[in-house]
Structure 1
């Protein structure tokens, strides 16, 4: 038997149930992954809570939960030639990741580099691609000043490091408890909330060249008030409220090979991605409740070990 987090009705974490099922087996072109860890993303609980969001991602209930996962291939489907049993991999499958065993299309996996822990690998698929797309959309250049809103979350931590690596000066919004951490990443932290524009004018009197909003629209609004060209503002969660000209991005806009490059950088220590907490599968509801609170530094994961 295999443990599996299932959701039969739309709603909050109280709808998540850990059940046991027969072990799944891969079909042609698929592999089975023995999951070591599953990473949580805000989109996971939004899919489980809102039917319209679920429909947009092709999920119908009853379904499993989560997308990102990492582990070891333990079974191959017919015709799979590029993978072997025992290979460490990470990737995703929408509405299925939080489980002992997940059947995945072989093409949806990336090899986990030596030196990269499974929990960090499990936190990568959505966050890494989204961060790469958000930064790439505004194309920061050396000497420019880039504003990143929501910089301490999973996407934000990676986006901040990618922007710093471009040679740009990075001004990053976060709560005060995350300011020292952002300084360690090479960014200049500033508090979000009321008075943001005035604080930005004080810290960057020469102006801001580009902006990346990773949470709502407050950073977009501040950037526009500071005179940033909308074509150099990207957003990942502005929804229908995104102003004209601002670039809406998501993981689908990542550059080729971005996931592998970021994984390699994490493996060699040139980038970091903190895992704030790891929960056993039996405490998945608690983990999702914490994720919904929106104040996680880095990522949350579910450990299947």
Structure 2
């Protein structure tokens, strides 16, 4: 008997339940994973906050996990090839990762790099693929300087590291308490708040070519629009309304083109992490049974790194 978190009604966390469930045996193209860590993301609660197409209640929670293969369907290989019971793996994009055990499509399962701890591995791919797509859609190129709003957050930290791989310099907004984190991953930190436009212009020496917004504030959008003339080189993951209004790009995992891109880069991100060139700072871990407490901490807005649930 497995246990998992589900949303039983639309709305807040008070509609979630930690339920027992009988798992079926994996069929062709499926595997069962005994979860060792589940990644925690804002999308986990945002996607069940209100009715949406393709999501039915009760809705299992959680999009990414690390774990161990406990069963494999007939004639089935995982996405990275092979796969045997007992192998350590990572899975993304799946449904129902807040669980002790889960049956998932084998195409979404990859061998876990040995150097990655489970809590970090379980938090690599959602933020990492979002960061990769953001850099892709703004066309970040070697030698350029770009502006990243929220550079010390999970997506921002991944942008910093992936930008460095492209030889792209990042001016990153953050609170002063998080400046060291931005510098740690190669960015130049600047404080958000009054005067941001002047600080960004000065830090970028007037040559900021693109902007990535991970925070969704009007300040972030307004500064991006002022600094980047070509609106095709501005992207947000958090201000879709402003993107529609002002004619720049918004991306999200629910968009078919976003999902396809993010799926396409999973193996590359795992390879980067396996080589040590892409890190996932982990702030806290919680027992799986304490998922509500973990999400309440995340909703405070400044976790200082990723959060993982440990069954």
Return the TM-score normalized by structure 1.
Answer: 0.91
Unaligned runs of 5+ in 1: none
CA distance in structure 2 between the partners assigned to 1:175 and 1:191 by the alignment: 6
CA distance in structure 2 between the partners assigned to 1:139 and 1:178 by the alignment: 27
CA spacing shift, 1:255–1:3, aligned 2, 3 Å: closer
CA spacing shift, 1:292–1:160, aligned 2, 3 Å: same
Q: Does 1:292 align with 2:299?
A: yes
Contact 1:231 1:246 in 2 (8 A): yes
Contact 1:59 1:94 in 2 (8 A): no
Q: Which residue of 2 aligns with 1:276?
A: 283
Structure 1 runs (4+) deviating above 6 angstroms are none
RMSD over aligned Cα atoms: 1.9
What are the residue-to-residue correspondences of 1:220-259 with 2, within 5 Å? Answer: 220-242=221-243, 243-250=245-252, 251-252=258-259, 254=261, 257-259=264-266
CA spacing shift, 1:253–1:106, aligned 2, 3 Å: closer
Q: 1:48 is paired with a residue of what secondary structure?
A: coil
Return the TM-score normalized by structure 2.
Answer: 0.90
What are the residue-to-residue correspondences of 1:111-126 with 2, within 5 Å? Answer: 111-126=111-126
Q: 1:225 is paired with a residue of what secondary structure?
A: helix
Q: CA deviation at 1:253?
A: 5.7
Q: Which residue of 2 aligns with 1:200?
A: 200
Contact 2:228 2:234 in 1 (8 A): no
Contact 2:156 2:214 in 1 (8 A): yes
Q: CA deviation at 1:93?
A: 5.0
When structure 1 is superposed on structure 2, of 155-164 and 218-227 the one drifting more is 218-227
CA spacing shift, 1:258–1:2, aligned 2, 3 Å: same
CA distance in structure 2 between the partners assigned to 1:40 and 1:233 by the alignment: 27
Q: Deviations over 1:126-159 (max 9, x none)?
A: 1111111001112222332100011112111111
Contact 1:211 1:219 in 2 (8 A): no
Unaligned runs of 5+ in 2: 253-257
Q: Deviations over 1:231-256 (max 9, x none)?
A: 11121222232144422224526377
Contact 2:91 2:109 in 1 (8 A): yes
Q: Deviations over 1:185-244 (max 9, x none)?
A: 110001112321122123223231111111215323202112431111121222232144
